[in-house]
Structure 1
Amino acid sequence: MKEGYFINFGTSGRTTALIAAALIGGATSVAAEEKIGEIFATIDGEAFEWRALAPDADGTDYNTSLRFFGPMQSVSVMGFSPGQISMKQTIQITFTLTPGSLDTFEQEVIYAPEGMKRIWTSLPDDDLVTVESFEDTDAGGEVSGRFSGRLCLKESMFAEPDPDQCKDIEGSFASSLPEATI
């Protein structure tokens, strides 16, 4: 794995494990990062906001991207709390677009308030994400939409979500999507 990359791995479209490599040099200046999108959400009545970041000049990819798999387009928008780049307090929205429409499949929303220790994730058969607009661009794409449903606790990255321990979530997102390089 190339150092400085955040990677999203889906397993059978049901579970996503986020693996974070150390940031180049151990620290990155937040002021130097380019905001390319925003995510707003209310989780169990508490309001949050995050920013999506463009890849930086050192090659660090912050996991907001557009990947092409034949006619399918895989979208990932990862949000970081304002003023920090850390795996704590992150949110990630992933889905695959069907060709020529805004219909999605393999949707997942992950909220990681404690980093990778305990995460909250959508259940495999829940459709939380509604894409309101998507446009191909020369640099990748532009996407916006909303999400609503519940996120359930996973005690570890590889555990199954517990449908008896869930939080309500509702929010919106809008971001540019650089075309993925890996």
Structure 2
Amino acid sequence: MASIEKLHPTDVLRLFPRLLQVYPDVAFTIPCIPPVGAWEHNHLSSKFGWRLHPIQGRFKHHEGIDIAGPHQLVRSTASGVVYKAGYERGLGLYVIIDHGNSYQTIYGHLALLHCKAKQKVRIGEPLGVLGQTGQATGLHLHYAVRKAGRYLDPGAYLTVGLSLINQYVSTIP
């Protein structure tokens, strides 16, 4: 099998169920579980792609998705190492995780950080608390996925992960 770094994002998504079966440690480095918990109190407030920026008032490419909801733990969507954790004017408190396979994930507008740079994190481990820091109009998480420096629609990855979770749950008696 070709390494994850060399695969096109659509091939990674297509092969993910097989990777999970045969190479779970590799699959756990691909960002595909929801970064926040139960969806009943959360909703997608902004999609990936072009939009009218809510603060700047101009059309700008949104390089991630925004998940609005109450203060809650934000978790790593895949295993990796915290590349950066800090504050930036636009993202507010943020975390960037390097997953070691050409993927990085970005978590922005956090209220609190629960990790620091160079820290190893496992899939599902808490990174911080959903918040409203930086340029934010309300409580939400800005979540982005990059592969080889290129931003991708996180929705495609979350769909694969949620689909597998739903298949698993449906097999439990």
What's the TM-score, normalizing by structure 1?
A: 0.28
Greater percentage in strand? 1
Greater percentage in helix? 2
